[in-house]
Amino acid sequence: MNGLLMALLILVAVSALGVVFAPQTIYSALSLVVTVGLLAVIFLVLNAQFLFAVQLIVYAGAVMVLFVFIIALLDPASEERARLTDPRLVLGVLAIAGICAAVFIAARNGVTYDTSCTHQAVSCMHGYRVGSGGGAADPYHTFGFPAAQVNAAGNVQTVANQLFHTYVLPFEITSLLLLVAAIGAVYLTRRTSTATGRGGAARPARPAPDDLPRESAEAPRETGERPLVTGGR
Amino acid sequence: MNPTVIAGLSATILLLPILGSALCGFLGVPLGRRFVNWVGTVSIGLAFAAVLVLLALLLHAPQGHQSSTVVLWNWLSLGAGSNLGVSVNVTVDALSVWMLLVITGVGFLIHVYSVGYMEHDPGVARFFSYMNFFIFAMALLVLAANMVILIIGWAGVALASYLLIGFWHDRRSAAVAARKAMITQVIGDVALVLAAFLIFVNLGTAPYCPPGAHCPAAAGGAQHLHTLNLPQIFAHASSLGPNSPTLTIICILIAIGAFAKSAQFPLHTWLPDAMEGPTPVSALIHAATMVTAGVYLIARFHPLFDLAPVAAGMVASVGMGTSIMAGFIALSQTDIKRVIAYSTMSQIGLMIFAVGIGAYAAGLYHLMIHAFFKALLFLAAGNVIHTMHDEQDIRQMGGLQARMRITAWSFLVGSLALGGFLFGGMFSKEDLLGFGTVNGPAAPALYIVGVAVNVLTGLYAFRLYGVTFTGEPRSDLARHAHEARRVMLIPVVILAALAAVAGWVLQWPVTIAGFRPAFVDAFLNPVFHTAVSGPIAHEPGAGLAGIGFVIGTGLSVIGIAVALRIWVRRDLDAPAWFRGPILGWLPRLSFHKLYIDELYDALLVRPGYALARVLRRTVEPEVMDGWVRGVTGVATDFSAGIRSVQTGLIRDYASIMVFFAVAFTVALIIAAGLVH
Amino acid sequence: MFPYILLTAGFLFAVGVLGVLIRRNPLVVFMSIELMLNAVNLVLVGYSSYLNSEEGQIFAFMVIVVAAAEVVVGLGLLTRVFRIGRELDVDDLDEMQQ
């Protein structure tokens, strides 16, 4: 089981790199499909059967289809590869290194959050206790699989029990959130008459200030009007 | 007296006018003139009825229970268990009921009169809203048993006065007069607030043992009062000892507040200008009620003034000085309302003198009688002005007696009451002057001044009557004058009846054949003879009072008779004596109001303007603008420096965010000592 | 095994950050954000197993809901931007400078 998990983790890391570095948008999307699919499998291995299903249905099923659909609709051009001297690339690589190193060091030292740890002791800082992990004695080679609990109730039932009892209010609020998102999406993408330009989102390209010549050049593409400021430079 | 009933009635008296004010103010314009007329007058009428109920309760209360202080609600409560805080509490005793009778009774009559007087004015809703608000503020002022509440009422009446003087605000003179009144009032307000501070520090926070509590003699056992509740302050006043400098300063500050409100020298100049307001306003605010608030204030704080004879003597002297000064000025004024205004100032000076020498009941007696005849004079003058189409110069009048019979007879009654013969003033004025024979600083010096004022009073009262109502009409307007409408006559006649009868019924200054009605003393004196009050005025003996009465009334009659010969029968050309070079300065001095306005202009206004010019030319552009520009310059330079960070590119913002997030994480790891 | 999960999650997150920083196509930026969200989900599920508690999975579920809502709105915005005639380039959308 550990070997399987290890392999999955390595594959996830590789496919994630593919998302970021693929030159074509569609390749990025396909890499992301692979990534979320692999993560779903990892969830299954980690005994989260419910999330496995949700991850597949929502991400691989809905979100990624939406992405691919938008890519097909907008047909974005491929962009040039970032130069190696781009300070953002350097910063990003440093961020990868920093975050990974931080997680590695923290995990090696068994940093856990401990609410009782509020006093200023040597091994105690801002609520983080260093040294004694809360789980297994050797976190690098063992893993907790509460087989008895899984067999007794089944993971989906346990999650559902929590979701519909303890966390029923947040669960209901997520439905509200989705409703708002759906209304927002409809509002943003609706087709309005550009001649009258009613409503905030339906306003045609604003008259460009003088220092934005590229906007004023492109504005007539949709509105069919001459931009108010055409330059004069 | 049942506290619940008292609280309910007090709240009614306060709520009815403010409700009327709100209704007239918010709904008056859409609902029209009839609505305003009814609401504005009925609210005051009902309040007057409530005052009458209070009076009945007070008269039936057993001896020693004629004062009741009830808490309506706790307004500011600062800390549980401590006394610190402000509660809205009212005192119902003879003094406040006496004042309320004047305020709501005379106020009601003047409101009824206003219905007729304002019938052509488009701003009638605003007018009644302000008038009702004034009644509310005045009632709050006289009911208040807490100095904070009292000051709120005190400032409220000043506000109402300001709004009503400037009622015709499109007239420049009205706006200026309103501002002048407000500024003068605020001087008094500041003095009163300072007095409140001093009282709080020196009396309000002193160790105090509440009744029934066990307080050891040691200072630690006594509680601190932390209050501006008047009963506690008065109970504690004697702790400062007699002739205490602190108490004297407090009393002088209170007196300055009273002087500003009551138009006493040197804060008197606003009152003649206040005649710019509509005549019912002059009658209600600037004759009957608000300007007498200073008298009320000193009477209310009598336990302090009793213990501060120096301040009380100053009050008496200022009052008498103002009285003779105003009487002198009134002799030569030509505006009908200004003459009455100066006579108001003069009469209030007498009341201030009375409360200054400790003759509180006599002062308040004159307050009520004065409210009757002065409101009468103003309302009758209002009838004249109304029919003369807002002409106020008495030189344009004359001969009105034949054309306005009822108004003229009422005015004659008012003039006799003012002059002190047969009616009102003969009783109340001589009563208070009688106290002057044995009380006050350097008695009877001020009494002698007082009887001199009597001559002046008779002179100017009948000069006004003679010039306005007798002789031949001196203008077309006067020839075409006609009697006023009934709604404007009825209040005048009622007030004339009150001015004529009240003195005969209420109290006589002298005992005739062992008979002397003294209802006023019997009603009011329990307020001033309490455990907390100090020594007050001695009664002059019956013989002395009789001699004083004869002298005073005799001089009044001389003044009246001389005035009648000069201005009615016109067989004595006394003014000619003052046309020569030797005495010519006297009428000029009187006509120019002793040049006091000019003096203030030279002493205060012009230096103020000069200073303002200097500040504007040098200090403002150099100093103030300089540092403002410096501050903005630093901010501009700083923001210009950091503006380059704002590229507008999301990726740059994300980069900065990521950099600091990672840096923070790494720093946390290092700081936690996890990197060995 | 648990530390390796954390490490992978950290790596996924950092790669997402890198994508946000270096890519100019807003679609890919969104995908990178999805990567970061998934990294957080991985941590939550990993802890859920490690500590024998279901709460982590509940929160991961909430994160998935939020991510779905975010994608819907974000892609709607992109459609809008495209329709008013702007290029799909985050460097082109620099109105915040003003």
Chain A neighbors of B663, CB-CB under 8 A: 98
CB C31 within 8 A of CB C22: no
Between A222 and B424, the higher pLDDT residue: B424
Average pLDDT over residues B184-192: 92
By the CB < 8 Å criterion, does A74 face chain C?
A: yes
Between B221 and B600, the higher pLDDT residue: B600
**Res. C36 pLDDT band, cuts 50 70 90:** very high
pLDDT at residue A193, rounded to an integer: 56
Q: pLDDT truncated to tens, each residue of chain A (233 aa)?
A: 678 888 999 999 999 999 988 888 889 999 999 999 999 999 888 888 888 999 999 888 888 888 898 888 887 777 777 677 778 888 888 888 888 888 777 776 666 555 555 544 445 555 555 554 444 445 555 555 555 655 555 578 878 888 888 888 988 998 999 999 999 888 888 876 554 444 444 444 444 444 444 444 444 444 444 444 444 33
Least confident of A83-87, B111-115, B335-339, C16-20: A83-87
Average pLDDT over residues B325-332: 88
Which residue intervals of chain A are DSSP H helices?
Answer: 2-21, 25-45, 49-54, 64-74, 87-109, 147-153, 155-161, 168-189, 213-218, 220-223
Q: Which of B646, B648, B654 shows the shortest C-beta gap to C21?
A: B654
By the CB < 8 Å criterion, does C21 face chain B?
A: yes
Q: How far is B644 from chain A (nearest CA, A)?
A: 16
One-letter amino acid of C72: V
Q: Is residue A186 part of a domain?
A: yes
Instruction: Determine the residue among B656, B674, B675, B676 to mutate to test chain A binding: the one whose Cβ has the most chain A Cβ atoms within 10 Å.
Output: B674
CB B350 within 8 A of CB B436: no
pLDDT at residue A112, rounded to an integer: 58
Q: Which of A88, A101, A109 shows the shortest C-beta gap to B655?
A: A88
| pLDDT score of B511 more than 60 | yes
Only one residue has tokens 């209420």, namely B506
A/C interface, count of CB pairs below 8 Å: 256
Give whole-number Cα distances, B21 to B109, B162, B487, B553, in Å. Answer: 17, 16, 21, 43
Q: Which of C19, C66, C85 shows the shortest C-beta gap to A19?
A: C19
Q: Is residue A188 part of a domain?
A: yes
pLDDT tens profile C39-89: 999 999 888 887 777 788 888 999 999 999 999 898 888 888 888 877 778
Q: Which of C7, C17, C23 shows the shortest C-beta gap to A103?
A: C7
**Res. C97 pLDDT band, cuts 50 70 90:** low
Average pLDDT over residues B91-98: 89
Report the distance separating Cα B629 and Cα B637, nearest Å.
12
| Interface contact flag, B646 C20, Cβ < 8 Å | no
| pLDDT score of B77 more than 80 | no
pLDDT at residue A114, rounded to an integer: 55
| Interface contact flag, A130 B666, Cβ < 8 Å | no
- Reference B257, options B137, B154, B344; nearest CA is B154
pLDDT at residue B20, rounded to an integer: 92
- Reference B499, options B373, B347, B378, B351; nearest CA is B373
Average pLDDT over residues B347-372: 90
| Interface contact flag, C91 B649, Cβ < 8 Å | yes
| pLDDT score of B386 more than 50 | yes
Q: Mind listing the domains of chain C with CATH numbers?
A: 2-92 (1.10.287.3510)
| pLDDT score of B381 more than 60 | yes
Q: Which of A91, A98, A125 shows the shortest C-beta gap to B665?
A: A98
Instruction: For residue B518, list its beta bridge partners.
Output: B507
Only one residue has tokens 């030279």, namely B602
One-letter amino acid of B123: G
**Tally of domains within chain A:** 1
| Interface contact flag, C97 B647, Cβ < 8 Å | yes
Q: Is residue A185 part of a domain?
A: yes
| Interface contact flag, B658 A92, Cβ < 8 Å | yes
Chain B neighbors of A99, CB-CB under 8 A: 662, 665
| Interface contact flag, B672 A95, Cβ < 8 Å | no
pLDDT at residue B160, rounded to an integer: 92
Largest CA distance in chain A: 78
Count other C-beta atoms under 10 Å from residue B639's C-beta. Answer: 10
By the CB < 8 Å criterion, does A96 face chain C?
A: yes
Q: Which of A135, A180, A209 shows the shortest C-beta gap to C2?
A: A135
Q: Which helix (H) or strand (E) holds B223?
A: strand B223-224
Q: How far is A121 from chain C (nearest CA, A)?
A: 25
CB B302 within 8 A of CB B98: no
Instruction: Determine the residue among A70, A83, A193 to mutate to test chain C binding: the one whose Cβ has the most chain C Cβ atoms within 10 Å.
Output: A70
- Reference B294, options B274, B319, B314, B311; nearest CA is B319
Average pLDDT over residues B162-175: 89
Q: Is residue A170 part of a domain?
A: yes
Q: Which two tokens stand for residue B437?
A: 């024979």
Q: Is residue A172 part of a domain?
A: yes
Domain hosting residue A158, numbered range: 154-193
Q: Can you tell me the ipTM of this complex? A: 0.90
Which value, to the nearest 10 degrees, does the dihedral of the CA atoms of residues B356, B358, B361, B365 take?
Answer: -30
Assessment of whether the complete model's pTM goes beyond 0.80: no
pLDDT tens profile B389-403: 888 888 888 788 888
Pairs from C38-41 (Cβ < 8 Å, separation ≥ 24): C38/A35, C38/A36, C38/A39, C38/A59, C38/C12, C39/C9, C39/C10, C39/C11, C39/C12, C39/C13, C40/C9, C40/C13, C41/A39, C41/A51, C41/A55
pLDDT tens profile B278-323: 889 988 888 888 889 999 999 999 888 888 888 888 999 999 999 9
pLDDT at residue A201, rounded to an integer: 46
Instruction: For residue B393, list its beta bridge partners.
Output: B335
| pLDDT score of B47 more than 90 | yes
pLDDT at residue B223, rounded to an integer: 52
Give whole-number Cα distances, A115 to A118, A127, A128, A129, in Å. Answer: 7, 6, 8, 9
Least confident of A15-19, A120-124, B135-139, B249-253: A120-124
Q: What are the φ and ψ backbone dihedral angles of B542, each rounded to 5 degrees?
A: -60, -40
**Res. B255 pLDDT band, cuts 50 70 90:** very high
pLDDT at residue A150, rounded to an integer: 57
Chain A neighbors of B659, CB-CB under 8 A: 91, 95
| Interface contact flag, B646 C97, Cβ < 8 Å | yes
Q: Is residue A165 part of a domain?
A: yes
Report the distance separating Cα B301 and Cα B296, nearest Å.
9
Instruction: For residue A113, list its beta bridge partners.
Output: A128
Report the distance separating Cα B263 and Cα B614, nearest Å.
33
CB B378 within 8 A of CB B341: no
Least confident of B241-250, B484-493, B666-675, C26-35: B666-675
Give whole-number Cα distances, A126 to A116, A132, B627, B658, in Å. Answer: 11, 16, 44, 22
CB B463 within 8 A of CB B566: yes
Least confident of A193-202, B40-49, B241-250, B274-283: A193-202
In three-state form (DSSP H/G/I as H, E/B as E, the rest C), the secondary structure along B574-626 is HHHHHCCCCCCHHHHHHHCHHHHHHHHHHHHHHHHHHHHHHHHHHHHHHHHHH
pLDDT tens profile B305-316: 888 888 888 999
